[in-house]
Amino acid sequence: MINKCIAIIMATITTFAALPQPPKREFRGAWLNTIYQEQYSKQSTLENQIYLCTLLDKLQKAGCNAVIFQVRPQSDAFYRSEIEPWSKHLTGAAGKAPNPEWDPLQFMIEQAHARGMELHAWLNPYRVTLNSKEKPPRGHIYYNHPERFVKYAGKIYFDPAYKENRDYISQIVKDILVRYDVDAIHLDDYFYPYPVNGRPFPDNNSYSKFGKGMNRGDWRRQNVNLLIKQLHETIYETKPWVRLGISPFGIWRNKESDPNGSDTNGLQNYDDLYADVTLWAKNGWIDYLIPQLYWELEHKAASTLILAHWWSNHANKRHIYLGQSVKTTMDKPDIGESKEKNQLAHKISLSRNLPNIQGNCWWPGYSVSDNYKGIADLLEKKFQSSPAIVPAYTWIDSTPPDNVENLKATCSDDGITTLKWNAPESDDIMQQARAYVVYRFVHNQGINLDDATAIRAITYEPRYSERMPKGCFTYVVTVLDRANNESVNGRKINVKY
């Protein structure tokens, strides 16, 4: 049945031999997980800072415009927190501060923005320990309220049933929002934990206490729904321009379980992780989904080709970005009559041709920075060769900001052109300048702000410098507000060298 569906899809979609021009608007993310990454705890503060800058440089060169950085891998912190302990993945021991002390989250925000990239703070909501030998560090909330936690397959988790736990997780999010200039809060696929060898999740006590006769599955889903709704409300009340993004497992439900499901045969968000992600989009509680489509296009149980179409058809007026496994994408040859040795072009074509897909996110970002099988080179030179603006979140705000003021340019004898300008003034925080887009056109050959190849930079600072070629050029500077709306037409200035 699945092979038949693939054949039908292949017969009806655009041929992917020729990619469209890289778009002006596209999410190009990269996940940087800190869990299971031993390098951070083995490196000094300076070595970690140099390492992260190098990663960001490589991701920027490959055309990425957003970094999803894991700051709370297991009820701990890759940032200064008075609520949770320093992460053992940063220093080697839970609760141990780095020496010299530094703040990785603040550092990554500054460095990502300096490169024109967004920074999304990635949190795991419920995980506390990774194995039966591990214990929460001294002072952890677990010791004050053990009744709010459960042990499953040797690991400790927050019990999602407790309102106190939802309040606590919301407190963590609010603390980050108040103190850090993040672009988004991001949660991954770990809600109720993945089933282990058929062992039931041990929530009999909380079900007896709070279940009120509900079906167990519906009750668990409601527990997670309440968390997502509360996080949405916390963000809206604190910084309404900050987005909430979720990266769910790639299958919502199989068609065998639900006629609205996908023609797949695998683990299900709805039934196994109790995450009703499509409901969250329908209710407007989230701003984007990045389903983890880590399989090959033709996978028998979970075809990325089928699932990409399914998610596009179930976007519910929210952004969908495709979560792509670098290794699978680069290891597997393309399907059909294609002679490509990998599936990169095909998968990017899916994201650019399907009507409700606005980009991709690469897992893990380290594989991009390591240029696994040449992926970074291909992204830089072919697929992400010109900068792209992260799509606008028009349900947050849809009004374009005003243009910059006092745009000025200087050009040195050796062709170094420097542009400076002032941000537009606005009492409406949603209309204030968040970033700027700098375009360059050959003078008197027309201005087309839809041409992504004309973008020279996306900058968070009101200035830009570059070495300009000989000739006369027109620079245009536009404003991006906090929802990524762009000012109309922009300000232009002619520069001759």
Q: Which pLDDT band, with edges at 50, 70 and 90, does 21 fall under?
A: confident
* Matching residue, tokens 């699932």: 307
| CA–CA distance, 157 with 388 (Å, rounded to integer) | 39
Q: Are residues 485 and 363 in the same domain?
A: no
Per the domain annotation, does 75 fall within a domain? yes
Mean pLDDT of the chain: 95
For residue 234, what pLDDT is reported? Answer: 98
- The count of other CB atoms within 10 Å of the CB of residue 472 is 12
389 occurs within a structural domain: no
Residue 293 counted as domain residue: yes
Q: Does residue 12 register a pLDDT over 70?
A: no
User: Look-up: residue for tokens 């988004």?
Assistant: 184
- pLDDT of 319 above 90: yes
Residue at 397 is within a domain: no
User: Is residue 351 domain-shared with residue 435, that is, in the same domain?
Assistant: no
Q: What is the mean pLDDT of residues 252-259?
A: 98
- pLDDT grade, residue 1 (50/70/90)? low
| CA gap 13, 353 in Å, rounded | 9
Q: How confident is the model at residue 5 (pLDDT cuts 50, 70, 90)?
A: low
Share of the chain above pLDDT 70, in %: 96
Q: How many helices (H) and strands (E) does the chain have?
A: 15, 19
Which residue in 364, 356, 352 sits closest to 294, CA to CA? 364
The whole-number average pLDDT for the span 130-159 is 96
Same domain for 432 and 312? no
CATH code where residue 178 lies: 3.20.20.80
Domain with residue 444: its CATH number is 2.60.40.10
CA distance 80 to 341: 45
- Is residue 135 situated within a structural domain? yes
Residues 307 and 202 in one domain: yes
Q: Work out the burial of residue 213: count CB atoms within 10 Å of its CB; fewer than 13 is exposed, 13-18 middle, 19 or more buried.
A: exposed
Domain-located, residue 396: no
Mean pLDDT of 330-353: 96
- Would you say residue 120 has pLDDT above 50? yes
Nearest 5°: the CA angle 35, 39, 41 is: 80
Q: Which residue carries 């745009």 as its tokens?
A: 407
pLDDT of res. 3: 53
- 114 lies in the same domain as 174: yes
H helices of 354-441, in order, are: 365-369, 375-378
Residues 230 and 268 reside in one and the same domain:
yes
Q: Verify that 423 and 361 share a domain, yes or no.
A: no
pTM of the model: 0.96
pLDDT tens profile 346-372: 999 999 999 999 999 999 999 999 999
pLDDT of residue 2 exceeding 70: no
Contact between 319 and 394 (Cβ < 8 Å) = no
Average pLDDT over residues 239-250: 98
Q: What pLDDT sits at residue 108?
A: 98
Residues 362 and 441 occupy one common structural domain: no
Question: pLDDT-based confidence at 11, cuts 50/70/90?
Answer: very low
Residue 448 forms part of a structural domain:
yes
State residue 198's pLDDT score: 80
What is the band of 231 on the pLDDT scale with cuts at 50, 70, 90?
very high
The answer to whether residue 392 sits within a structural domain is no
Please count the structural domains in the chain. 2
Residues 221 and 366 in one domain: yes
Q: Are strands 472-480 and 491-496 parallel, antiparallel or unpaired?
A: antiparallel
Closest CA to 268 of 155, 206, 278, 158: 278
Q: Do 102 and 181 sit in the same domain of this protein? A: yes
pLDDT digits (tens, 9 = 90+) for 287-304: 999 999 999 999 999 999
pLDDT over threshold 80, residue 13: no
- Report the pLDDT averaged over residues 161-188: 98
Does residue 206 sit in the same domain as residue 69? yes
Counting beta carbons within 10 angstroms of the beta carbon of residue 15, is it exposed (0 to 12), middle (13 to 18) or buried (19 or more)? exposed
Question: Which range of residues forms the domain containing residue 35?
Answer: 2-383
pLDDT of residue 15: 42
For residue 328, the surrounding DSSP H or E stretch is helix 326-331
pLDDT tens for each residue of 412-468: 999 899 999 999 999 999 999 999 999 999 998 899 999 999 999 999 999 999 999
Give yes or no: residues 31 and 69 share one domain: yes
Give the tokens for residue 424: 């537009």
Say if CB 45 and CB 99 are below 8 A apart: yes
